[in-house]
Chain A
């Protein structure tokens, strides 16, 4: 569709112009007075360039003939796409003073955000290189796009304060002020509902705020939780799916950090995760759901969610996230009684992190409780840091069960005393109880002969004469059908494509009259004859 092609064209122009240091696109013409034969001007500073790009993408720049009173309908998507462009991401590396200077240039002079940024960090003169801003004139951007620019600049400032300057409390205050400003300026244009153009940016601001709150201390954490909940309610009402998804994830994360698992579970049951949210947010949501279910002893569901999360996770980035999910998935799989396959531990980039888990899995497979406890203690620091130590504590009886299963398969009859000795269970009496429980749980298949004091395994019957194959096939068939249904649901067409195609067709067809149609058909027939 032509819309997409236009965007791609703009992107390539943008990249070219930055590379060659020449501003070709017409939007820059009113600002830079130099003509084509003047020496190529120095490239615009990164933040200004990115800001102007957004303005041009939204069609609000001066060159556009129709002065738009409202943002185009696909504004939210445009902003999201613009946000993920590489040139925009470079702005994250700007130093604080550069950021402030650029903000003063790009935003209108009475912007509260600029004031907030200025006051958040005292400026020291002359210790950082300012970008060459000689070419950038000052132009007041269109008022519709000001909140978006403000929100974006604010998020950059918070990011810089938090990570570069490592000042979480200042970042926290700044984020609070900026959210208030952006909210105020948004509500001037619209009622309390978030306009769609702001939705990805506000989501980003909230995410930074939550990160700041984490590092800034308990006071900040308490205030932020109620804020997040209130904002989530607003976002649900205004159907801002980006903000809604991000906030839901942030609240879940906060609850899980404070170990309020019950509340997290109730929250997840009472809310619906918006379907239109981005893939990354969906991944995070699946991870939190998996974690909640694991803590609530629903291991099979948890394993399914975590596997889905791993499948949807991006492959090139976010290694730390994938490692965390992988670790949790391994433990949950052990808790369901299955042993994870070896290749899982050798995924690219994760081998080093998963080493303790591999040792643990080995000990579970062996079925020796003593070895298991020793390894768990040896790596207890790692497990505590990962937050999986509670789940590992529950693994003890899985070790015993795995050991029992091995013994049951290898022996047709084994005395209970021997079992007790092999698995270091204490006495034959407790071994008897444990074996009885294992039989009841379906881990092993056998019968205890109490008087003789041994366990007799049942004869391995022919599996095909039971219903087992049918059930296994049924599971696989339902899985395939579900995947098919999801794939059909996930088919996406560009949203405007149908309308545009329709409009074009209608526009053309009205002009054709009958004779013209007949003439066309004759031409086609003539062509075909020529081909032959």
Chain B
């Protein structure tokens, strides 16, 4: 099955428009299918091809109703990957009207809450997704949020009682917390006696002199100054 009218090297012919329309429909269903089976590696190449069709031939093919949904899925996917640069570039390319649609604005709202740090709003939002496909990202989103909360908590708290930790990190039970700490947070210390989660080993900060840095800097000054005639 070969369709010569597709980008990147479209061959114009009488059937070009219908070829492109057919290709677009097929790719859209492929994207949605990939989202449904939660296979991200499958989603990406289809979306890229679809983007080519939207960008270059969007005018002649007319609006597609799946367009906002697929865009929303893509944006969420980038958020979950923490790829903010890509997220914003994609957002730029989306025209104004489509941005108002609930699918896209959902992703935008999630991004804003993530940046602000109101993670509870994020979780709350992901419990009410605008369409079924976004709901599929819920687990991934939860993991991302959990990592972010963990990072923040490390720096902000000295100790945290275990119950609070379970609640804050959105675990269902103590056991999950143990597993999480064991797997990905080796520097957290669970003190069984006091039922407390301590984030850093007790402070032993002496004032260290960063000698290598200072040496490197001073040598750089010396070389530059010698160049001044």
- Inter-chain CA distance A261–B156, complex, in Å, is 36
Beta-carbon contact of A450 and B160 below 8 Å: yes
Within 8 A of A (CB), among B193-229: 207, 210, 214, 217, 220-221, 224-225, 227-228
Interface membership of chain A positions 428-468, coded 1 if the CB is closer than 8 angstroms to chain B and 0 otherwise: 01100111111110000011101100000000000001010
**B117 interface residue per 8 A CB criterion:** yes
Beta-carbon contact of A295 and B155 below 8 Å: no
**A side interface size, CB within 8 A:** 39
B67 CB, min distance to chain A CBs, angstroms: 17
**A397 interface residue per 8 A CB criterion:** yes
Q: A433-B149, A477-B221 are in contact. Are A447 and B157 (CB under 8 A)?
A: yes
Q: A433-B117, A435-B156, A436-B153 are in contact. Are A297 and B92 (CB under 8 A)?
A: no
B118 CB, min distance to chain A CBs, angstroms: 4
**B46 interface residue per 8 A CB criterion:** no
Beta-carbon contact of B88 and A439 below 8 Å: no
- Inter-chain CA distance A485–B223, complex, in Å, is 12
User: Nearest CB to that of B121 among chain A residues?
Assistant: A430
- Inter-chain CA distance A114–B84, complex, in Å, is 54
User: Nearest CB to that of B154 among chain A residues?
Assistant: A440
Within 8 A of A (CB), among B75-110: 84-85, 88-89, 91-93
**A262 interface residue per 8 A CB criterion:** yes
Beta-carbon contact of B156 and A436 below 8 Å: yes
Residues of chain A lying within 8 A (CB to CB) of residue B88:
295-297, 390, 394
Interface membership of chain B positions 137-153, coded 1 if the CB is closer than 8 angstroms to chain A and 0 otherwise: 00000000000110111
**B131 interface residue per 8 A CB criterion:** no
**A406 interface residue per 8 A CB criterion:** no
**B side interface size, CB within 8 A:** 38
Beta-carbon contact of A437 and B148 below 8 Å: yes
**B178 interface residue per 8 A CB criterion:** no
Residues of chain B lying within 8 A (CB to CB) of residue A485:
224, 227
User: Nearest CB to that of B153 among chain A residues?
Assistant: A436
A327 CB, min distance to chain B CBs, angstroms: 18
- Inter-chain CA distance A437–B112, complex, in Å, is 13
**B54 interface residue per 8 A CB criterion:** no
Q: Indicate which residue in A261, A262, A433, A438 contacts B119 across the interface (CB closer than 8 Å).
A: A433
**A484 interface residue per 8 A CB criterion:** yes
**B116 interface residue per 8 A CB criterion:** yes
Beta-carbon contact of B152 and A262 below 8 Å: no
**B161 interface residue per 8 A CB criterion:** yes
- Inter-chain CA distance A433–B123, complex, in Å, is 12
Q: Indicate which residue in B89, B156, B160, B225 contacts A262 across the interface (CB closer than 8 Å).
A: B89
- Inter-chain CA distance A448–B118, complex, in Å, is 16
Beta-carbon contact of A439 and B152 below 8 Å: yes
Interface membership of chain A positions 284-305, coded 1 if the CB is closer than 8 angstroms to chain B and 0 otherwise: 0000000000011100000000
- Inter-chain CA distance A262–B92, complex, in Å, is 10
Residues of chain A lying within 8 A (CB to CB) of residue B156:
435-436, 439-440, 446-448
Q: A437-B148, A439-B152, A440-B156 are in contact. Are A261 and B89 (CB under 8 A)?
A: yes
Residues of chain A lying within 8 A (CB to CB) of residue B121:
426, 430
Q: Indicate which residue in B91, B118, B154, B221 contacts A426 across the interface (CB closer than 8 Å).
A: B118
Beta-carbon contact of A434 and B116 below 8 Å: yes
B36 CB, min distance to chain A CBs, angstroms: 28
Within 8 A of B (CB), among A356-372: none
**A526 interface residue per 8 A CB criterion:** no
Residues of chain B lying within 8 A (CB to CB) of residue A478:
220
Beta-carbon contact of A448 and B151 below 8 Å: no
Beta-carbon contact of B152 and A440 below 8 Å: yes
- Inter-chain CA distance A64–B215, complex, in Å, is 65
Beta-carbon contact of B155 and A439 below 8 Å: yes
- Inter-chain CA distance A467–B208, complex, in Å, is 10
Residues of chain B lying within 8 A (CB to CB) of residue A430:
118-121
Beta-carbon contact of A397 and B89 below 8 Å: no
Residues of chain B lying within 8 A (CB to CB) of residue A467:
210
- Inter-chain CA distance A335–B29, complex, in Å, is 39
Residues of chain B lying within 8 A (CB to CB) of residue A297:
84-85, 88
- Inter-chain CA distance A421–B84, complex, in Å, is 30
Q: A448-B157, A481-B224 are in contact. Are A434 and B118 (CB under 8 A)?
A: yes
- Inter-chain CA distance A435–B153, complex, in Å, is 10
Q: A450-B160, A477-B221 are in contact. Are A437 and B89 (CB under 8 A)?
A: no
Beta-carbon contact of B92 and A397 below 8 Å: no
Residues of chain A lying within 8 A (CB to CB) of residue B161:
450-451
**A203 interface residue per 8 A CB criterion:** no
**A70 interface residue per 8 A CB criterion:** no
Residues of chain B lying within 8 A (CB to CB) of residue A474:
217
Q: Indicate which residue in A437, A446, A447 contacts B117 across the interface (CB closer than 8 Å).
A: A437
* Highest count of chain A CB atoms <10 Å: which of B118, B121, B151: B118
Within 8 A of B (CB), among A240-275: 259-262
**A396 interface residue per 8 A CB criterion:** yes
Beta-carbon contact of B117 and A397 below 8 Å: yes
**B164 interface residue per 8 A CB criterion:** yes
- Inter-chain CA distance A446–B156, complex, in Å, is 7
User: Nearest CB to that of A480 among chain B residues?
Assistant: B224
**B179 interface residue per 8 A CB criterion:** no
User: Nearest CB to that of A448 among chain B residues?
Assistant: B156
Beta-carbon contact of A429 and B85 below 8 Å: no
A502 CB, min distance to chain B CBs, angstroms: 22
**B187 interface residue per 8 A CB criterion:** no
**A325 interface residue per 8 A CB criterion:** no
Beta-carbon contact of A450 and B148 below 8 Å: no
Beta-carbon contact of A437 and B164 below 8 Å: no
Interface membership of chain A positions 110-135, coded 1 if the CB is closer than 8 angstroms to chain B and 0 otherwise: 00000000000000000000000000
Residues of chain B lying within 8 A (CB to CB) of residue A446:
156
**B158 interface residue per 8 A CB criterion:** yes
Q: Indicate which residue in B152, B217, B220, B221 contacts A437 across the interface (CB closer than 8 Å).
A: B152
**B115 interface residue per 8 A CB criterion:** yes
Residues of chain B lying within 8 A (CB to CB) of residue A425:
118
Q: A447-B156, A451-B161, A484-B228 are in contact. Are A438 and B117 (CB under 8 A)?
A: yes
Beta-carbon contact of B116 and A436 below 8 Å: no
A436-B149, A481-B225 provided; 11 other pairs, C-beta below 8 A?
Answer: A295-B88, A297-B84, A433-B120, A434-B116, A435-B117, A436-B156, A438-B117, A446-B156, A474-B217, A484-B228, A485-B224
Of the A-B pairs whose beta carbons lie under 8 Å apart in the complex, a sample of 13, sorted by A's number, is A261-B89, A296-B85, A296-B89, A297-B88, A394-B115, A397-B112, A426-B121, A437-B116, A437-B152, A439-B156, A440-B154, A447-B156, A477-B221
